[in-house]
Structure formats: C-alpha cells, structure tokens
Amino acid sequence: RKQLLKGIDVNFEVITKPEIDELVSENIYAQDIAMFLAEHKAKSYNEFLNPLTIVITADTIVWFNNKVLNKPLNKDEAIRMLTELSGNMHIVYTGVCLTTLNRYKTFFSETKVWFRNLSEAEIIYYIEKSEQCVYSQSDQKNFRFAVALSRAQKNKIDKNKHGEHCENKERSNRV
C-alpha cells in the first residue's frame, strides 16, 4: 500500500497501532467483513484527524466455501489450506476506508483467484522453500500463494450515492 501512495507522489506518514480487535458478527458476508474491519480500524485513528489529514485504512480477507480463511498458524494448517485451495477458486476481498474529520468513504475490491491442481509434494515443497510463508496472525506480511495461481479476475466494487453496488472488472490470466 505504501508503494501505491509513493507512486502518486503524495506526502504521507505510516502510523501503525497495536493489534486491533478483528472480531466480527457471524451474520456479516464476505465483502462486508472487509469493509467493516477497514472502518473499525479507521475509528482507532480518530486522534490523528485534523482538517488537513486523510486516514486510509484497509483490511483483506480470503473467502472460500462461504467462510473466511485466516492466515495459517503453523505448517500443518498451511498444508491443509493449500490442499483445500488446490484446483479451486477463492475470492480475496480488500475493504478500504478513507476518513476525514467530516466524513468517511468505504469501498472494496474483489479478486477471484483460481488455483491450479497442486500435488502434495508441490504443496510441501512450496511451504518449506518459500520465504514468504508466515504462520502468525500478528505478523503483518502476507502468506503468498503465487506459485499456485492459474488466473485471477479483479473487480473494484464501490457504493454509489444511493447505496447500490457499482462494479468495474479487470481480468488477467496466468498471474
């Protein structure tokens, strides 16, 4: 996210806060979870708001089989997750909240990701050799599955002034 802001030549400061409670109601659907968490994070930065600031917060979740797939806590859980995702499609939702003193705007991006079929040996090799694997939910790095992708389709979803969802699709094969 820092790279994106650097790319548009805007002065900004990254302020991190200790762990923010990410518990959500079981009645919230996938994209709404990501937006709820982005808004929830934004509220914890209210002390930094002044007339010249914009606070940008975001949260990303993986949605598979109608549930959130959290970061793996250990090697066995990573193997189980990659085995589940092998040959299947999952959705990555990123909720973003832009906050000023007077208002906030929340939206989300949806990326459909298709994994190719992976053998058990490929999964184990990937987990053991990948420097990107992270087994801690408190670690801010992402668990990367790029080796397993077959294609991805990205949709930016926004709510218009009437609360209706608007959709822009981008698609890339062979990510």
Name the active-site residue from 9, 21, 59, 139.
59
Clarify whether 21 is annotated catalytic.
no
Per-residue H/E/C for the chain:
CHHHHHHCCCCCCCCCCCCCCCCCCCCCCHHHHHHHHHHHHHHCCHHHCCCCCCEEEEEEEEEECCEECCCCCCHHHHHHHHHHHCCCEEEEEEEEEEECCCCEEEEEEEEEEEECCCCHHHHHHHHHHCCCCCCCCCCCCCCCCHHHEEEEEEEEEEECCCCCEEEEEEEEECC
Beta-bridge partner residues of 67: 64
Catalytic residues: 59
